[in-house]
């Protein structure tokens, strides 16, 4: 007989034995026990020792059946097969007089898993990390593996001296409680992050590049202010990207060393760098053996020119552009490989892009998993590939970005899954849903609206169809509004973004221009992309406006405002058709550091209704980031509105500037003004032009406090009124009305704070140029949606 048996000892709580360097109270350690092996035919199979596991289950794992002839090799194979199930701590197999006897000792069942001593990590996080579970089979190998997992988890959180001791408590009916006793140890902080060999960038600049942070009392929410060896490797890669994207082709990190302080209270991390000289791109060329591709055309498509500063990211962009161009020409499977030839003498890098056709592979099937709310077709319509298409990596990456841009999912991955056929591949789209509905209530105070109350409900993925539905009620001393909007991002299952807006607004402008306006209307809109960076929106607006000037102000016996303002009273219907075209090449639509955008909008009113005009507005901006802290932006806007059909531009349709649109001046603080009867009423203008230069500056306040600042200067003008507005019935100019296009200018400091009550903006301004009748403000605070 040949046997393999695990040594099992009766255990009680607190009894420990050595387990791979950790103490463990366990049922036993398996040891093989050999006996005299016999050879012969199996006439009967007998199973003994099983308590929970059915005999039929054990026989199903056994590679021997009745009638088989066994020898020592087959008996050893049977032993290994039973031990591989992890169901048994001891197994004996023997053959005697034709009876094959299987004697087993079952592994215990885990009753519960307990953690003790874990104050630094929550129990839920530990449970997610380990593989053993209640009602699972207890095995020494699994427990030992989980011990290492827990230690690694603590090491990543900065506790490199953590120790874990697994223990068990025996219970009746072959059950055990598994206890992980944890000694967390002290957190290993980072006393300093230092750099050697850096000349072009200061230590402070590079500290913003690496993830590892110096420990400080105010970084109690940060997970990067502790020592983690794996993080150092990531930091080295971040440094390499930073330098290589700024022309340092020869850059390398010589070493990254963490030294434990003599007080053993933290580590000092030192990165030793070799920057090398700055390189520029030399000759850029494309080579290919594909006859359908013109190398001259492909070279023109490469977004790199000789003399440009060398950047790794531009190589990646060029590779994607060539891949896409080849795909558009019918080569879905192409291999684009850049070849670099650096010339230290001229400090240039010549790049040759080799474009070759790879093996043609087709998409066999696209599977989507994880979409518990979003419908399949909403995801599929964002994919640039369908079943049967030739596989194209660039289109797969673009599809993944499309899904991420929806904002419906926490995580999105698209993976290739091999099939039985070499020229076929499956795509597995894995998504993780996130909340897309919001119910918001807020109250605040600003220097413009005074007290404000907002109540809103939003669902960005209505019914899982990708539709956007919003409703909002807002009340303030200056503005009250009720609006609802609905947007279908793929109208008629095409790349058309259609929507409808219903709204009711009340603007009390008595502090600015002695009138009050009420608007009730609807917008119909549809938008579509023109290119990858350009988008066009068309709209139809039907709106009724009621302009009211208090009757006592216009009563001839006690008139308090000019007749010009009184003539604006009335109810008017506006029916207009408009469009907007936007070209946006910013690297971030919220906080850009590179790129530009330009937008043109025009509205033609007079398709029915009482109002006839053509309004045109142009807006643009350019951004350049010197580094993370300093970003220069130059922006400008201009507009003109002109009437037609012998109509006059009404007061509520004119342009008003000031406040957020021209810092240093109050809302409607610049432009034409009526100062009759001792008042100062803004009349608005028919033309404006405003330019702004702004530079973000460091605040030296920890980033988690959400405070940033910028210095600015605004320059512009607003003016032009129809002569009918400025002259009386006698044809003479109305005294007290001022209208000119004189230049205004201001400069100052803006501070943005992501407060617990929402984003708040503070503006401190100094007026550089103004007119006497302008209304100015040196300080202003308001809520803002852009942060």
Separation of alpha carbons 443 and 377, rounded Å: 39
Separation of alpha carbons 365 and 388, rounded Å: 8
Burial letters 551-561, b for 16+ CB under 10 A, else e? eebbeeeeebb
Q: In the block, which residue shows the tokens 């069942």?
A: 109
- pLDDT at res. 36: 40
Separation of alpha carbons 463 and 375, rounded Å: 9
Separation of alpha carbons 752 and 755, rounded Å: 9
In this predicted model, what pLDDT tens digit does every residue of 308-367 receive, in sequence order? Answer: 999 998 998 888 888 877 776 667 677 888 999 999 999 999 999 998 877 778 899 999
Instruction: Using alpha carbons, select from 739, 606, 610, 643 the residue that is nearest to residue 684.
Output: 739
SS3 429: strand
Separation of alpha carbons 565 and 682, rounded Å: 10
- pLDDT at res. 783: 63
Instruction: Using alpha carbons, select from 284, 305, 285, 306 the residue that is nearest to residue 295.
Output: 285
Mean pLDDT by 10 residues, the chain (787 residues): 37 35 36 49 87 85 86 87 84 86 87 86 85 86 88 75 86 87 78 88 87 65 62 88 92 87 74 93 89 82 89 88 76 81 92 84 91 91 88 81 86 90 90 83 57 81 90 84 92 90 89 86 95 92 91 69 80 96 84 90 94 96 87 96 90 92 92 85 94 93 82 96 81 84 95 77 93 91 53
- pLDDT at res. 617: 97
- pLDDT at res. 404: 87
In residues, how long is the chain?
A: 787
SS3 119: coil
Assigned token pair, 700:
């030296």
Burial tier of 601 (Cβ tally within 10 Å: 0-12, 13-18, 19+): middle
Separation of alpha carbons 452 and 398, rounded Å: 42
Separation of alpha carbons 145 and 133, rounded Å: 13
Residues near 557 by Cβ (< 8 Å), separated by ≥ 6? none
- pLDDT at res. 360: 76
Assigned token pair, 488:
């279908």
Separation of alpha carbons 123 and 423, rounded Å: 47
Residues near 784 by Cβ (< 8 Å), separated by ≥ 6? 660, 752, 759, 760, 761
SS3 305: coil
pTM exceeding 0.75: no
Separation of alpha carbons 779 and 749, rounded Å: 10
Instruction: Using alpha carbons, select from 237, 236, 227, 299 the residue that is nearest to residue 268.
Output: 227
- pLDDT at res. 700: 82
Query: 701: number of CA atoms within 13 Å, CB side?
Result: 12
- pLDDT at res. 142: 86
Separation of alpha carbons 638 and 619, rounded Å: 7
Separation of alpha carbons 537 and 498, rounded Å: 9
Separation of alpha carbons 446 and 783, rounded Å: 7
Beta bridge partners of 17: 24
Please report which helix (H) or strand (E) contains residue 498, including its range: strand 497-508
Separation of alpha carbons 550 and 508, rounded Å: 12
User: Is the separation of the CB atoms in 688 and 655 below 8 Å?
Assistant: yes
Burial tier of 307 (Cβ tally within 10 Å: 0-12, 13-18, 19+): exposed
Q: How far is CA 323 from CA 20, 31, 165, 373, 615, in A?
A: 52, 59, 54, 34, 43
């Amino acid at each position: 007989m040949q046997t393999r048996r695990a040594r099992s000892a009766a255990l009680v709580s607190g009894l420990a034995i050595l387990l791979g360097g950790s103490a463990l109270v366990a049922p036993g350690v398996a040891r093989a026990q050999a006996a005299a092996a016999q050879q012969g035919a199996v006439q009967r199979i007998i199973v003994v020792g099983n308590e929970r596991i059915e005999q039929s289950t054990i026989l199903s794992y056994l590679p021997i059946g009745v009638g088989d002839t066994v020898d020592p090799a087959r008996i050893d194979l049977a032993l290994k097969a039973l031990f591989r199930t992890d169901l048994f701590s001891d197994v004996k197999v023997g053959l005697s007089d034709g009876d094959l006897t299987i004697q087993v000792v079952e592994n215990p069942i885990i009753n519960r898993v307990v953690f003790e001593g874990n104050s630094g990590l929550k129990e839920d996080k530990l449970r997610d990390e380990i593989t053993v579970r209640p009602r699972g089979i207890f095995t020494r190998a699994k427990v030992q593996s989980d011990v290492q997992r827990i230690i690694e988890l603590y090491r990543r959180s900065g506790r490199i001296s953590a120790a874990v001791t697994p223990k068990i408590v025996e219970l009746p009916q072959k059950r055990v409680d598994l206890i992980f006793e944890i000694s967390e140890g002290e957190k290993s902080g980072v006393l300093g992050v230092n750099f050697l060999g850096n000349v072009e960038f200061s230590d402070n600049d590079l500290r913003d590049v690496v993830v590892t942070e110096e420990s400080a009392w105010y970084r109690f929410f940060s997970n990067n202010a502790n020592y983690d060896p794996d993080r150092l490797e990531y930091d080295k890669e971040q440094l390499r990207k930073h330098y290589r994207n700024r022309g340092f082709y020869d850059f390398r990190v010589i070493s990254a060393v963490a030294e434990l302080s003599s007080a053993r209270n933290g580590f000092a991390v030192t990165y030793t760098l070799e920057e090398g000289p700055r390189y520029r791109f030399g000759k850029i060329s494309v080579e290919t053996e594909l006859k359908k591709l013109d190398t001259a055309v492909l070279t023109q498509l490469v977004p790199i020119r000789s003399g440009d500063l060398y950047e790794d990211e531009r190589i990646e962009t060029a590779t994607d552009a060539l891949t896409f161009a080849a795909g558009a020409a019918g080569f879905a499977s192409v291999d684009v490989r850049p070849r670099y030839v650096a010339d230290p003498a001229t400090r240039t890098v010549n790049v040759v892009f080799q474009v070759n056709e790879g093996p043609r592979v087709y998409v066999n099937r696209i599977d989507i998993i994880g979409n518990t709310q979003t419908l399949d077709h909403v995801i599929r319509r964002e994919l640039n590939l369908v079943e049967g298409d030739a596989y194209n990596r660039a289109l797969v990456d673009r599809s993944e970005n499309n899904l991420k841009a929806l904002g419906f999912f926490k995580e999105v991955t698209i993976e290739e899954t091999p099939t039985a056929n070499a020229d076929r591949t499956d795509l597995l789209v894995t998504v993780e849903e996130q909340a897309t509905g919001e119910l918001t209530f807020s109250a605040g105070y600003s220097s413009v609206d005074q007290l404000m109350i907002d109540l809103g409900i939003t669902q960005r993925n209505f019914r899982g169809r990708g539709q956007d539905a919003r409703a909002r009620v807002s009340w303030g001393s200056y503005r009250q509004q009720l609006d609802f909007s609905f947007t279908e991002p793929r109208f008629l299952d095409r790349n058309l973004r259609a929507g409808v807006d219903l709204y009711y607004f009340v603007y009390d402008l008595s502090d600015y221009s002695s009138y009050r306006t009420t608007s009730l209307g609807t917008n119909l809109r549809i938008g579509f992309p023109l290119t990858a960076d350009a988008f066009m929106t068309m709209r139809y607006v039907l709106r009724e406006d009621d302009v009211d000037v208090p009757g006592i102000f216009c009563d001839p016996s006690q008139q308090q405002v000019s007749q010009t303002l009184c003539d604006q009273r009335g109810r008017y219907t506006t029916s207009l058709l408009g469009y907007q075209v936007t070209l946006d090449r910013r690297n971030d639509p919220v906080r850009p550091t590179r790129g530009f955008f330009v937008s043109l909008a025009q509205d033609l009113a007079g398709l029915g209704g009482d109002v006839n005009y053509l309004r045109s507005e142009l807006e643009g901006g350019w951004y350049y980031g010197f580094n993370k802290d300093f970003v220069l932006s130059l922006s400008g806007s201009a507009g003109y509105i002109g009437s037609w059909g012998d109509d006059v531009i009404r007061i509520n349709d004119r342009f008003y500037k000031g406040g957020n649109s021209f810092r240093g001046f109050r809302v409607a603080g610049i432009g034409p003004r009526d100062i009759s009867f001792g008042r100062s009423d803004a009349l608005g203008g028919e033309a404006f032009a405003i330019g702004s230069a702004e530079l973000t500056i460091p605040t030296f306040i920890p980033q988690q406090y959400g405070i940033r600042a910028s210095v600015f200067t605004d320059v512009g003008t607003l003016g032009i009124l129809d002569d009918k507005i400025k002259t009386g019935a006698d044809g003479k100019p109305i005294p007290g009305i001022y209208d000119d296009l004189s230049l205004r200018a201001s400069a100052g400091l803006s501070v943005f704070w992501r407060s617990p009550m929402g984003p708040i903006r503070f503006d401190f301004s100094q007026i550089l140029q103004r007119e006497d009748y302008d209304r100015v403000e040196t300080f202003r605070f308001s809520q803002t949606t852009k942060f």
